[in-house]
Structure 1
Amino acid sequence: MLDADLVVIGAGLSGCSLIARLRQLQWPGTMAVVEAGRGPGGRTATRRRRDEPHWRLDHGAPGFHLEDPLAESVQSLLDPLRDNGVLRQAKGAVMSVDTDGSISRSGGPADRAWLEGEPFMASLCEALLAMNDGALSQHFGRRVRTLQRDGDHWCVVQEGSDWQLRGRRLVLSGSLLAHPRSLAMLDWRQVPLREAVPAGQDPELDQALETLALSRAEVRWNLMLDLPLNGDQYPRQIWLTPEAQAHWRVERLVLHPQADNRTGLVVHGLDSGKTITPETQPVLLKQEEQRLRQLLPELLKAWPELQSACERAESLGVMRWGASQPIDHPLPPALQWCDASGVGFCGDYVDGPGFGRAEGAIRSGVNLAQHLSTLTP
């Protein structure tokens, strides 16, 4: 069993921002980060192919934008990333597609100034973790199933394994371990955080869990394709107008030119509303892959070469994002930290500027770091 003063579950933008900001504030405690994926990134993760080491595909968020003015604390966190070139202005045009296939440069997200990671999106989280001075243990490929409260410590247990990690304080950088949807999706008997701290022991935590239970989240079905085409001359992002999104249940298409005259394509499919359980998920993954591939000729009418390349594309499967884009009932910032239980929350589901977006994830991590920095390890 390993030990740390602070255990952070989730190595996405919020969790990595929290860790990096704590070090900027010179918090002296030891930290550990636990992540189910093979590396940091969360919903800014990057797909790597074992058979082609130079091939990269950002299969989650391809970029994000920030609203001015930024809080000084957020600016201080991002400045080093800008200075070393990891955070930069996104390349390529952003276009919009309407229900009839017509394209334009105006409207909605297409008008925004986008930022991205260099050389890929996961580089942002990698750089944030690298800002640590070494007092950070990193545990990837560890899918947490059980949380236990043992006296003044938390115990994090990996699903189907004897691996455990103990920490004095715990932060969830996503809401899955605290939200009832985990019961259906993962066939769990109880919400792990609720199981660890029964109702009545911590009024703040009770209120936080009640709020999170009310929140819905939009699911994404992201189809990944490997196109035999040089995509440098095409838009980097192709957004659908609100009307087109409702018609096709697709949010956007994102192109990722590769170094070998090929292009990765991610189709961000929207939820159908069907119940996701361990039994239905394999079937839904196949259905969504078929549905999204069949839509591509209509969505890409304006780009005949892209249409043709999609017909010959190799499928890399569908990635389901089950906790993205919170759309209501945000967690109040006052409930980000529940002192009696020694547990905190950060992520884009926390209320405030940037709610539901990458900016909200970063801001929530920075704000929680400010509070934790005042606590003795």
Structure 2
Amino acid sequence: MATALSTDAAATRSVKACVLGGGIGGCSAVRYLDTKSLALVEMGRGLGGRSSTRMSRDDPRIAINHGAPSADIRTREGASIMKDLESHGYATKVSGTNELSSGILEQWRGDPNMSTLCEGLTRGREYETYFKTMVHSVVPTIVGDSVVEGWTLLDKNDRVIVRTDWLIVSGSGAAHPRWRAAFKSEPPLIEAAKLIGNEELNDAIERIGSIDARPVQVAMMAFDTSSISDNTSIISTPDDDVLDKLVMTKSKDGRLVSIVAHSTTEFANTVNNVYGSKSTAARIGGATSSAEREQKVLSEIMTAVDVNLKQMNKADCPDPTLGPFLHRWGNAFPDGEPLPYNKAIIKEAKLAFCGDYVGEKNTFGSIEGALLSGKVVGEELSKLLR
């Protein structure tokens, strides 16, 4: 069971392993790490990462999956994990199994929401959580020539968040140059690697830095309406310069519909550094953009939403019950070559990487890639922790 602690409470805490990032990769690592001395640090309000679900305290019907609307599973190993989640009520298979020459293809969703996948992965595990917490720097304890004994995670005020023997980094942000544009500081792991001077770590950092990304700007909103019949509809908008797709989801009572408008990468590239004032990057990380520029981006997306809804013979949107809110997924779709599994664990640095940027090419950039990389890292580190 997860136990929430504050940064102050963690000042003297030390664990054997700490996972940085509460998305699918990080939660998968938590699932497979065989230790009770475990912590997870996450900038957001809870688990989910790019499988997050936006909730509302004012209206319990609102649950907006504003990242990935579903998960494509292409390997039998991934399917086995999803079936286990399904058996415990955390996932639902929404397509049949297509047998392919390269494997399989199945589509899954979290039940009832996408973030539920992370809850299912971490069920029954004993670990400490630090939500709404941004790691500003990671300080290695160096005991020999390029050898690390442990890590100290610090916030922006240089207060200790937690100390750990092993650090597992889920998500490429803390090791990628794009961190500079968002947070106006050096990427924490790049700074740490300079101090350590470990060739394997430097190689991993270089490989991660070479991975590009296709960003997506999303606008999320909810309406009191029953104008769609399907529980979830994913509607492609191939002729639109601004929108790539609309994801429309009906609440369980059938009277509220959430819409998440996903921009094209081309549009997102024209509005770099617009994060959304209510996003985690802005609220916790201080990644801000001007209100005027943010409103302009939101207006362009909403105009495209209205046009596409009319083309689909939907009624004009009423005033939203929630939103619209802007959010930027800067690392939404990794592009390039993944960090191979045999480069993802650096024993002398007591550091490991997992996430959708790690693993095999056929699962690169996917929920399944994050899921399987967390499993590999968790199982391998468990051997080293014994």
- TM-score of the aligned structures, taking structure 1 as reference length: 0.84
Counterpart CA distance in 2 for 1:213 and 1:80 is: 34
1:276-324: per-residue Cα shift (whole Å, max 9, x none)? 274646554322211110012332244333x41x253352311111221
CA separation in 1, counterparts of 2:38 and 2:118? 16
| Partner Cα distance (1:6, 1:281) in 2 | 39
2 CA distance for matches of 1:291 and 1:354? 33
DSSP 3-state at the match of 1:320: strand
Partner of 2:139: 148
Unaligned runs of 5+ in 1: 92-111
1:356 aligns with 2:349: no
Give distance in 1, aligned partners of 2:300 and 2:107. 29
1:3 is aligned, of 5, 11, 14, to 14
* 30-39 vs 284-293, greater mean Cα deviation: 284-293
Q: Are 2:152 and 2:163, in contact at CA under 8 Å, matched by a contact in 1? A: yes
Q: Distance in 1 between matches of 2:247 and 2:356?
A: 22
Question: Cα–Cα, structure 1 residues 279 and 10, in superposed 2: closer, same or farther, change >3 Å?
Answer: closer
> In structure 2, how many angstroms separate the alpha carbons of the residues matched to 1:10 and 1:200?
22
Q: What's 2:156 paired with?
A: 159
Q: CA deviation at 1:223?
A: 0.4
Residue in structure 2 matching 1:262, options 245, 256, 260 = 256
User: Contact 1:21/1:77 (CA < 8 Å) preserved in 2?
Assistant: no
Residue 302 to residue 172, structure 1, CA distance change in 2 (3 Å):
same
Retained in 1: the 8 A contact 2:230–2:250? no
Counterpart among 244, 251, 254 of residue 251 in structure 1: 244
Asked if structure 2 preserves the Cα contact closer than 8 Å seen for 1:5 and 1:169, the reply is yes
CA-CA distance at 1:273 after TM superposition = 3.5
Q: 1:348 to 1:161 in 2, by over 3 A?
A: same
Call closer, same or farther: CA 1:156–1:65 in 2, change over 3 Å: same
1:316 equivalent in structure 2: 324
- Structure 2 counterpart SS, 1:237: strand
Structure 2 Cα separation of the partners of residues 53 and 279 of structure 1: 29
Q: Deviations over 1:78-132 (max 9, x none)?
A: 34311122111239xxxxxxxxxxxxxxxxxxxx752111111111101211131
Give yes or no for contact 2:243–2:304 (8 Å, CA) kept in 1.
Answer: no
Query: 2: distance between equivalents of 1:163 and 1:199?
Result: 19
C-alpha deviation, 1:368, in angstroms: 1.3
What displacement does 1:251 show?
2.2
2:122 counterpart of 1:114: no
Amino acid at match of 1:33: L
1:298 correspondence with 2:307: yes
Partner of 1:187: 184
| Structure 1 residue aligned with 2:349 | 341
Q: Confirm whether residue 285 of structure 1 aligns to residue 298 of structure 2.
A: no
Q: Deviations over 1:185-224 (max 9, x none)?
A: 1100x22112123167211110111111111112121101
Once the two structures are superposed, the pairs formed by residues 1-377 of structure 1 within 5 Å of their partners are 1=11, 2-22=13-33, 27-68=34-75, 70-71=76-77, 74-90=78-94, 113-132=106-125, 134=126, 136-151=127-142, 152-160=149-157, 162-188=159-185, 190-198=186-194, 201-234=197-230, 236-240=232-236, 243-244=238-239, 247-258=240-251, 259=253, 261-270=255-264, 271-276=268-273, 278=287, 280=289, 282-305=291-314, 307-308=315-316, 310-314=317-321, 315-352=323-360, 353-377=362-386
Q: Distance in 2 between matches of 1:67 and 1:53?
A: 34
SS in 2 for 1:374: helix
Aligned to 1:104: none
Which deviations, in whole Å up to 9, do the C-alpha atoms of 1:116-149 show, x marking residues without a partner? 11111111101211131x2x11111111111111
Q: Which runs of 5+ in 2 are unaligned?
A: 1-10, 96-104, 143-148, 275-286
Per-residue deviation, residues 143-182 of structure 1 (Å, max 9, x unmatched): 1111111231101112346242000000110011100111
Cα 1:131–1:192 change in 2 (3 A) is same
Q: Secondary structure at the match of 1:233?
A: coil
Amino acid aligned to 2:337: H
Q: Share of identical aligned residues, percent?
A: 26
Aligned counterparts of 1:56 and 1:49: Cα–Cα separation in 2: 7
SS at match of 2:212: coil
The whole-number CA distance in structure 2 between the counterparts of 1:128 and 1:334 is: 24
The Cα RMSD (Å) is 2.2
Could you say if the C-alpha distance between residues 231 and 45 of structure 1 is closer, same or farther in structure 2, counting changes exceeding 3 Å? farther
Change (3 A) 1:318 1:364: same
Name whichever of 3-12 and 52-61 sits farther off: 52-61
